[in-house]
Chain A
């Protein structure tokens, strides 16, 4: 990846969500709850307009968004997210992100702090903060860090 700087924006990712996206995401995370695959349960019991993406699958989308940008040497240390609104079939998800900080810890590991937003039209559906380790140079591999040298 090219040189990273604080304030830099990440390339946007858009994705058209279908019922298959929602069901596949739920089953891939072993989430059998009916609001993620049963339209009638979602609309009649939960009172929402359709089945909707589950939280662990959203985490997987955020991970993909971060590592699409870093490449395979990027190593996630920490990720937190908060869901504000649901994502339904027919929605187009839009992921956008920004580097809010870039710093080296006491072990020489370089960390980028990211703020990421998942929106659908003008709705902010989820927000995520991530901390990802980046290689300092061509010979550095954050995945080689263990024990005291890995402080996520």
Chain B
């Protein structure tokens, strides 16, 4: 998908490079796990029954789909400075490529080691590809794929979220 020859050198240098490594604001905790399960009435015993969790998953785990939950910043904190953007590479691409609009078209989550209460996760972003210029009904721009990788405090990969974005300039009407 990448066609790096027509990309600015700076953007081309981002492909496959690790960027924006960050540690979560708080350890994974069961209160949030239960609230998340309650929000969708998920009665999976892995999250509610310690005996089942001990037998099947060697102890309690978090629902895999909660991966990104552990990285959304507090709405307020005493030392919170500028608002962090969860997918900064996406915004960097818009800026450097001069594409003022963008939409996310696809999201794929891949789950590896289970996330457990007490885990402190780190995240990092990796630009995987940028397409040549394309014109869609939204406008002219480029598609890109960004992976957000999540690791636990032991360095084990727990999951990857892969986002496809389309940055574009609106068509003249």
Q: Which of B44, B69, B113 contacts A64, CB < 8 Å?
A: B44
B145 CB, nearest partner CB in chain A, Å? 12
Instruction: Say yes or no for B171: interface residue by CB 8 A criterion.
Output: no
**A-side contacts of B58, CB under 8 Å:** 143
- When distances are taken between beta carbons in the complex, the residues of chain B under 8 Å from A25 are 39-40
- CB-CB under 8 A from B35, the residues of chain A are 24, 27-28
B11 → chain A, closest Cβ, in Å? Answer: 25
Known contacts: A78-B109, A80-B109, A152-B110. The answer to whether A60 contacts B40 by CB under 8 A is yes
**Bound Cα distance from A57 to B40, whole angstroms:** 8
With contacts A21-B39, A29-B66, A59-B65 taken as known, whether A79 is within 8 angstroms of B57 at the C-beta atoms is: no
When chains A and B are docked, how far (Å) is the Cα of A81 from the Cα of B69? 17
Is B72 touching A30 in the complex (CB atoms < 8 A)? Answer: yes
Cα–Cα, bound, A63→B63 (Å): 8
Query: Can you spell out 21 A-B residue pairs with CB atoms less than 8 angstroms apart?
Result: A15-B41, A24-B39, A25-B39, A29-B39, A30-B32, A32-B72, A60-B39, A63-B63, A63-B65, A64-B41, A64-B44, A72-B45, A73-B56, A76-B64, A78-B111, A79-B111, A80-B109, A146-B113, A150-B112, A152-B110, A152-B112
List residues of B (107-136) whose CB comes within 8 Å of A's CBs: 107-114
User: Is B15 in the interface zone, CB < 8 Å from A?
Assistant: no
CA distance in complex: A118, B129 (Å): 30
**17 other A-B residue contacts (CB within 8 Å) besides A56-B68, A59-B65:** A24-B35, A24-B39, A27-B39, A56-B65, A56-B69, A57-B39, A60-B36, A63-B64, A67-B42, A72-B44, A72-B52, A75-B111, A79-B108, A80-B106, A143-B114, A146-B113, A152-B111
